[in-house]
Amino acid sequence: MFLLERFLLLLPWAAVFSLIYIPARLLSLKKPSPLRHEAALFLFWLTVVLILSQTLSTDGRLSGIRIEPGCALRPEYYNFRPFDLFRTWRGYIGTDGFAEFTVINVIGNVAVFVPLGYFFSRAYRKGIPAATLCGACLSVFIEICQIPMARHTDVDDVILNTLGAFIGGVAAAIVGRAVLSSKKRKEEGGSTDD
123 located within any domain: yes
CA atoms of 109 and 54, how far apart (whole Å): 12
Least confident of 16-30, 39-53, 75-89, 161-175: 75-89
Range(s) of the domain holding residue 75: 2-188
Q: Average pLDDT of the chain?
A: 86
Return the pLDDT at 1: 59
Range of lowest pLDDT (22-31, 97-106, 133-142, 156-165): 97-106
Query: Is 79:152 a contact under the CB 8 Å cutoff?
Result: yes
- Work out how many domains the chain is built from and give that number: 1
Residue 151 lies in a domain: yes
pTM: 0.84
- Structural domain contains residue 141: yes
Within a domain: 111: yes
Average pLDDT over residues 24-44: 93
Is 193 inside any structural domain? no
Give the contacts of 131 (CB within 8 A, at least 6 positions apart): 116, 117, 118, 120, 121, 165, 166, 168, 169, 172
In a domain, residue 78? The reply is yes
Does residue 194 lie in a domain region? no
pLDDT tens, residue by residue, 49-78:
999 988 887 766 666 677 777 766 777 777
- Residue 182 maps to a domain: yes
- Distance separating alpha carbons of residues 22 and 20, to the nearest angstrom: 6
50 vs 191, higher pLDDT: 50
d(CA 45, CA 23) in angstroms, rounded, equals 14
Over residues 75-125, the pLDDT tens digits come to 777 788 888 877 777 777 777 777 777 777 788 899 999 999 999 999 999
